Every structure is written in structure tokens, then in C-alpha cells.
Amino acid sequence: MSKEAVQAVIGKAVTDSKFREQLFASPDEALSGYELTEAEIAALKTIDSEGMEALAGSLDERISKAFLMGMYGGLAVAGGQPATEVGPVSGYKKEAF
């Protein structure tokens, strides 16, 4: 049994919509590149597509919110400067180094 391979499949299914579609439309093809046991393949084939879509959507929404909060938080820390203008120490411009 390869816990890492199962985790890789689930992670890719959550983050990659094309892989997720392939996993549910043609699971044998989608899983062919992974070192999985027959039991693991059978278990992965039982994953509910609607549940996986809901998880992927929820995760995508959270990542988007976290990105926006990080972007706005970075601007606040940088005193309104774009994040690309900030050097390795928060608040200092790159030119200072």
C-alpha cells in the first residue's frame, strides 16, 4: 500500500479539475500512472464525485480569500507600496539593500 500515492491522487483531484474529470469519467486511465494496490484503486473509485467537487470548490474559495487577504495584508505592511517593492525586511524598499 502506498499512502503517498493515494494522497497524491486525492490532492491532484482536489486541485486539478481536468484530472478530477478524468478520474470520474475514466478512473483506470487516470490512475494508471500511480503505484496503487487493487484495494486502493477500488477505494478511489468509490469517491463521490459531487463530494469531491464540493471540496474542490470550497478549497478554491478559501485559497482565493487567503490570497486576497495576503495581498491586502502585504500592502498594509508595506505602507501601501506594492508587495514587489518591499525588500526582505518588511517596510524597507529593495533599493535600501
**Chain segment 7-60, per-residue pLDDT in tens:** 999 999 988 999 999 999 999 999 998 999 999 999 999 999 998 988 888 877
Closest CA to 97 of 88, 79, 74, 78: 88
Q: Which three-class secondary structure state does DSSP give residue 86?
A: strand
Residue-level pLDDT at 60: 72
Q: Is the model's pTM score more than 0.85?
A: no
Domain ranges (residues) in the chain: 3-96
